Amino acid sequence: MLTLVTGATGFVGTNVVEALLERGDEVIAFGQGEMTVAARGAFARFGKQLRRVDGDVRDAACVDALFAGARIDRLVHAAVITAGVEREKRDVTPIVEVNVAGSARVLEAARRNAVGRIVHVSSGAAYGRSLFEYDRLYEDLTPERPQTMYQITKFAGERSALRLRDLHGLDLVCVRLGSVIGPWERDTGVRDTLSTHFQLARLAAQGGTALLPQREYRRDWVYSRDVAAGIVAVLEANSPSHGLYNLSANREWGGLAPWCEALRSIHGAFSYRVAREGERTNLNISELQDRGRMDIGRMVQDIGFEPRFGPREAYEDYTRWLRQYGDGMRA
């Protein structure tokens, strides 16, 4: 079974590639630039199971050549620009070209080449303002109210994918992800919003002091290994009943102190404290408000997948990974 993963050098894409390789699948990893030295070393043991192809979903000739060069059985489309406000102001066209037009280009090529199951990786960002106005978010009940260019383009890419599914009878499923943390996250230059957990890990490696916010904001964190496993479960599910599934942890993670303590076990020089009154945190927290939890009942009942990692299990696994592949945080 040959699976194509787009955006394979990014955070989620690298986790999906790893999960597929460990299952024994053959994988074409398509994306811009190289994987990290750590990832290349980790995946070297898979030999010819993995084929790396450098390319851009905005390049039609490149996408066509990719599909023409191999008989691809399945597709995980994870290529994305995760844009912040500053990128919105200066570079709006590439955001639309990758997240909407690039998605349509890849899916059209998949249709022409009779690819089987397609998983289109979307984001809880498609809910937009509803993320902060509802305690729980449901695929068919919660209104989508995207406002930022990232939210708008993720929603438009997802809706375009589902429209192509209806028009052509594609075997396609969209998966909306929660706030992903864990192994293989790094600053690729196209992810403007890096997780707080990654920022803390990077600060700990530098022996710095983290100034935590006085109030911790609730997020629907989900561990990257669970995200990869969930995507693989959707990839292999027999006749999913729905075209859209939430994929998150579906549980409260609490504050950041337990993660800081886990990091101290690796980097003894690292310290942390709560910022004093009038003192600013040295973490880039993009959304200073509580975020509702994405309900995963549909994923559990229909796909039969439930995340394995709560905070304790995730932090234990993540610290093991950092000890072995800490350089993987760097581009």
DSSP characters over 170-203? --EEEEEE-EEESTT----SSB-S--HHHHHHHH
Residue 69: band (very low, low, confident or very high) from pLDDT cuts 50, 70, 90: confident
DSSP one-letter string for 300-325: IIII-------HHHHHHHHHHHHHHH
DSSP state at residue 47? G
Q: Is residue 180 packed enough to be buried (19+ CB in 10 Å), middle (13-18) or exposed (0-12)?
A: buried
Q: Mind listing the pLDDT tens digit for each residue in 216-238?
A: 888 889 999 999 999 999 999 99
d(CA 191, CA 193): 6
Q: pTM score, two decimals?
A: 0.96
What letter would DSSP give residue 299?
I
Q: Which fold has domain 2-181+223-250+293-308?
A: Rossmann fold (3.40.50)
Residue appearing with tokens 């390319």: 55
How high is the mean pLDDT of the chain? 94
Output the pLDDT for position 287. Answer: 73
Greatest distance between any 2 Cα atoms in the chain = 60
Question: Could you write out the three-class secondary structure of 266-280?
Answer: CCCCCEEEECCCCCC
Q: Where are the domains of the chain?
A: 2-181+223-250+293-308
Q: Name the H helices within 114-256.
A: 149-168, 196-205, 224-236
Q: Is residue 182 a contact partner of residue 318, using CB atoms and an 8 Å limit?
A: yes
* pLDDT the model gives residue 230: 98
Mean pLDDT of 244-258: 92
Whether residue 164 contacts residue 111, with contact meaning beta carbons closer than 8 Å, is answered with yes
Give Cα 155 to chain centroid, integer Å.
15
DSSP 3-state assignment of 80? coil
Residue 56 CB: number of other CB atoms within 10 A? 16
Alpha carbon distance 318, 322 (integer Å): 6
Q: Find out whether 116 and 171 touch, Cβ atoms under 8 Å.
A: yes
DSSP letters of 224-259? HHHHHHHHHHHHH-SS-S-SEEEES--S----SHHH
Looking at residue 110, its pLDDT comes to: 97
CA distance 194 to 179: 10
CB 228 within 8 A of CB 183: no
Distance of CA 137 to the CA centre of its chain: 18
User: Percentage of the chain surpassing pLDDT 70?
Assistant: 99
What is the predicted pLDDT for the residue at 330?
67
Q: Residue 331 pLDDT more than 60?
A: no
254-263 pLDDT per residue, tens: 889 999 999 9
In terms of DSSP bridges, do strands 179-181 and 221-223 run parallel, antiparallel, or are they unpaired? Answer: parallel
Interatomic CA distance for residues 183 and 167, integer angstroms: 37
278 pLDDT higher than 70: yes
